[in-house]
Amino acid sequence: MKNIKLEKQKSTLIITINRPDKLNALNVDLINELSEVFSVHREDKSISSIIVTGAGDKSFVAGADIKEMSAFSQSEAASYSNRGIELFNNIESYSKPVIAAINGYALGGGLELALSCHIRYISKTAIIGLPEVSLGLIPGFGGTQRLKNIVGLGIAIEMITSAKHIDSEEAIRIGLANKVCHNVLEDSLFLSEKISKNSPLAIKLAIQSIVSGENA
């Protein structure tokens, strides 16, 4: 895979989005590669949790690849959006805990990716936001609903309509992130190790119940 790196540490699969020269921006190939990895490992009993992070120290995912998107036809744009929605829905409903290790910029589709993960650990220097309205767009991968469900209606509307960026401390204050970390990957691995000591079936059923809002 040319856009992601995979590493397994004990029972944790680390997915590193590897387009540092593009600030790890989402493009069609990257979305397809992520979809394949999550599908392949969904029933892999040797993996207890997954960490998603970005290559380098500047960016988790700095949004969609605008250069690529600008050349899309209407049908290509619709296909791109649908593939992203499908991927993020798959992550949200995943049977194993998925941790976003936000190591830098998480903007637009990058924040939407983090919102689809179950847990968000964030570095002290990270900057996040949904700036789509400044481009005449709205968050297109389900971020409007996920953000509202996580931080509440008022804060979601404020963030999306102002297109503002927020820092890690603000992300913690509004409940968007679980923890501010000095070393976000190290802390994510520590959490993943704790998760691995518990019942995989119980974890799967708990996630299903929490995400669906129904008793398992």
Residue pair 113/100 in contact (Cβ under 8 Å)? The answer is yes
Which runs of E-coded beta strand occur in 169-210?
A: 179-181
| Contacts (Cβ under 8 Å, ≥6 apart) of 185 | 14, 51, 53, 101, 103
Residue pair 108/132 in contact (Cβ under 8 Å)? The answer is yes
Cα(204)–Cα(98) distance, integer angstroms: 12
Q: How far is CA 107 from CA 14, 35, 74, 151, 191, in A?
A: 21, 20, 23, 17, 24
- Amino acid found at 18: N
132 a catalytic residue: yes
Pick the catalytic residue: 43, 132, 170, 193?
A: 132
112 a catalytic residue: yes
Pick the catalytic residue: 36, 112, 158, 214?
A: 112
**Cross-strand partners of 129:** 107, 165
| Dihedral (CA of 116, 187, 15, 58) sign | positive
| Residue that the structure tokens 């798959």 belong to | 90
- Give me the active site residues, please: 112, 132
